[in-house]
Structure 1
Amino acid sequence: MTDQLAPMPTDWHRALAVVAHPDDLEYGCAGAIAGWTDGGREVAYLLATRGEAGIDTVDPDRCAAVREREQRASAAVVGVSSVEFLDHRDGVIEYGIDLRRDVAAAIRRHRPELVITLNHRETFGGVYWNTPDHVAVGRATLDAAADAGNRWIFPELAEQGLEPWGGVRWVAVAASPHPTHAVDAGPGFEHAVRSLLEHRAYIEALTDEEPEAYVRKFLTETTASSSEQFGGRPAVTFELFSR
């Protein structure tokens, strides 16, 4: 018997998605985000880096500008207008107090009920080794969801006008090897395709395939892989932690 995935909660209004790089959300869960914003919910993005180390043939300073521009265009496709960058160094993000503080500050600013991040575990399903950046940002986000509500952790944030926010009800981890919940990928699929295609410079450096064919194949296969656990529907999956 295959464990079935529960539908993601819908009784929330604001979400904050926290990831390491431009394209992390588009490869992970932009299709779900498109459906949420279409339904009137607010979603903001926080990126730890500008992805400046992501294209081998492009100097980091120029790459950062390209990838920031692509990320903002990509977010707009799925109804997200708030995109912030923390400027940690791509490829060498360190898990620790500074990163936790930065994410906690963003949670206090945006006051979300749902926080979203990317797989923080060592592997993707025991097949692909995860990157240190994903692990660091995912772990820090899980911790910062609690930090944001405790006025005695990072008290300097309150001094800056960022009062504690204890209203985070869930942290949802996209692309987890241990999913518990899912969103029907069908309604937001075309938005997800267009959103990932906005990362054209990155995709063209990554593969020799025609970009749209590559994107459609990747998203089709990814969302179909969990359909058996979600009533036969293509799914965007999450590991959901309640708070």
Structure 2
Amino acid sequence: MLRDDEITRVLTVMAHPDDIDFSAAGTIATLVDRGVEVIYCLATDGDAGGFDRELDNGGMGALRRAEQTAAAKAVGVTDLRFLGYSDGTVEAGLGLRRDIARVIRQVRPDLVITHSPERNYVAIAPSHPDHRAVGSSALDAVYPDARNPYTFPELLSEEGLSAWTVREVWLVGGPTPDHFVDITATIDRKLAALQAHASQVSHLDTFADFVRQRFAETAERAGLGPGAYAEAFQRVSTD
């Protein structure tokens, strides 16, 4: 597995605006503080989310792109890439694999953070079908697509994007996490990122308390002391 000093560039591949903030914004802030370059890739604009029906027919997607941009800024990320898939109907397949492989070859990250493609029966929300589709396609894009110059050869011949090997993947939302990151020092920035998604969370009066409790429980599972907060991942080596 990668040592901390071997991680210099990270790509997150998520289904919707707010997915990275719920699952890993504290970790992202910690990485950015260490000088790591982080890039966000979002499969959809989140156009099927939110509670304001007056923003249907495109308005919600534009709002959520803006919210995600503000949330990213709260943890020090400024490079965001939206793939434009329709929220709620993402399917794993060659097109999505090609689009993610393209971004991987553009960014050339050491580490990719994405959704677990496994269904989690303990906590069903992380197993949204868009999440599982994006996680499955991202893993396929990491191995073998992005590293194999003969997969999607047009990426090289037409776009000049040579093959790239991602060395490690961290999965979020799955049933078997095995790696915990202490985010006690960055929990406030995680909350700021989440609260930037006003269309999703502004109706929840106790949202901040919920977030703190949830990630305090994760810290407890990780064996950290009282008052700590943590985020959980499953680490996957690509060797």
- How high is the TM-score relative to the length of structure 2? 0.91
Task: Tell me how far 1:46 sits from its aligned partner.
Answer: 0.2
SS in 2 for 1:87: strand
**Does the CA-based 8 Å contact 1:50-1:64 persist in structure 2?**
yes
Mark the runs of 5 or more structure 2 residues left unpaired by the alignment: none
Equivalent residue in structure 2 for 1:30, among 13, 25, 28: 25
Deviations 1:126-149 (A, max 9, x none): 555721100100111111112100
Task: Tell me how far 1:226 sits from its aligned partner.
Answer: 2.5
Equivalent residue in structure 2 for 1:82, among 75, 79, 82: 79
Query: 1:138 aligned to 2:150?
Result: no
Q: 1:177 to 1:218 in 2, by over 3 A?
A: farther
| Paired AA for residue 143 in structure 1 | D
Equivalent residue in structure 1 for 2:38, among 37, 43, 62: 43
Distance in 1 (CA, whole Å) between partners of 2:204 and 2:10 is 34
Task: Tell me how far 1:60 sits from its aligned partner.
Answer: 3.5
- The residue correspondences of 1:1-243 to structure 2 (distance < 5 A) are 9-10=3-4, 11-56=6-51, 57=53, 58-123=55-120, 125=122, 127-128=124-125, 130-146=127-143, 147-159=145-157, 160-166=159-165, 168-204=166-202, 208-210=203-205, 213-214=206-207, 216-232=208-224, 233-243=228-238
Q: 1:62 to 1:15 in 2, by over 3 A?
A: same
Report the RMSD for the aligned CA atoms in angstroms.
Answer: 1.7
Q: 1:155 to 1:39 in 2, by over 3 A?
A: same
Task: Tell me how far 1:234 sits from its aligned partner.
Answer: 2.3
**Does the CA-based 8 Å contact 2:26-2:186 persist in structure 1?**
yes
Distance in 2 (CA, whole Å) between partners of 1:64 and 1:50 is 5
Task: Tell me how far 1:187 sits from its aligned partner.
Answer: 1.2
Among all aligned residue pairs of Structure 1 and Structure 2, give the percentage whose two residues are the same amino acid: 38
- How high is the TM-score relative to the length of structure 1? 0.89
Mark the runs of 5 or more structure 1 residues left unpaired by the alignment: 1-6
Task: Tell me how far 1:185 sits from its aligned partner.
Answer: 1.6
Distance in 2 (CA, whole Å) between partners of 1:64 and 1:45 is 16
